A and B are shown apart, each in its own frame.
Chain A
């Protein structure tokens, strides 16, 4: 057993840390979040050049064959600076689905482009009625000639605005909550029949609701086996959850550091507020939550590499549930300990609070994952 990083992994960590330090000061991040795009294409290029966009892909297609541990290292450090580029959407989710389910032609058409930084992806899985259930799919794909016709409404698609291609889950057979009958399709964002409603999210990112109306795709748009996509989706979403957990750890550590420093500087009643015992204990609780989360995040990254599916899914549910709770606590208390200062948009702590709040919800909130764990563990 070993929780230490290898030399190579340490280099990766240093490289992401440096990128964040150079590009993600609180002011720079606020500026970027407020642009139309919401992130920087230059940063995206840099990420491609540094090889990060190819990290999790197999070497045969030009990737680095990194594991979930490499992903976690990157995400944790990006979480530290609340990085805005669509790494999770494009590389882990979109790229992950293509690499996992795609045929040779699809992989060759998409993955090298992703690695080069030329193509962005998004995964449209949620629907207005689905809440967090990946099997709750009403969007339909009916056979038509050689291809399919897609109809439906996809909700809160993170980075759906800037994605060149959107991976859509749609039902090719069965009832709306059946586990069988779900298929994945690669849809060009500018296909006729695709209508997007773009908007901002509380964490300063961009998302879209996407309506598909008689969107025609060819047979080559089908990703993986018709009707058999759910296991692939679950696997890739589990990886995304593990990545989010690592991001949350980075964000919690940063929020704690900022708060800790503030408690040393801010004086009331003639003394630093960090001298008040009730606040010291609160800060210790926040620190402990972040430490517990770091352990869970490392644990889940290692378990993702195991073949035992039940073990993997239990680990993911447990990590997300624990980290979701911790993220809320740390986010809320960071604001509380700052007093009025924590309530301003100009100061960084509120942005950590907001990202941590969203992470708690994304891919299922704490309740959802406790339920899932209970079902798997019984």
Chain B
């Protein structure tokens, strides 16, 4: 999309990184020699200690930052959407107009973009708050608006950077379930950065654990869980086994 390598390297993958490193001016090395392939339609969680380079990696994939070396290939078919750690809404626009923004910038005609936005807003359960301004919403609602704004473009690739980290446990689990459901309904590739092993296990089909800075991969683990995730799953021993594997890897990468 933004930085295509020679054709053929991508294959059927949605994202393909080869030897990606990022060294900031001043010498901070955030990502080192990263190889990563994500198949189209996969839900991948990225876990790692704070400051290890997860956001940097996500920004490189989104084209908001450039790799110092290595190649980044993104399937050109996929329009890309990004959900930031904070909701980052435009405070002078109400919910509806925040969600229509990406379509507006793409030059879509007004009645169509309102229609599309309404669908996205309904999907995140905010249909009765469309006229409200961000200042009048709770943190969880704001995050939902942010999610709706990302979904409205019908992205093929959705990047989320610790989107629910600031929310309480209940709201977070609700949003996790909604996200998983949305993903199952639409065919999109999801990259989800989180600090929480529980969240990663519940959401993803595949979890990648990073070391401390500079980020390298400790394990790339396919989660052995049923595709349909219900909240009861969190209490089951199979779930605990999976989180155990990730926790162990996280500790290993942190020493």
Physical interaction between A and B: no
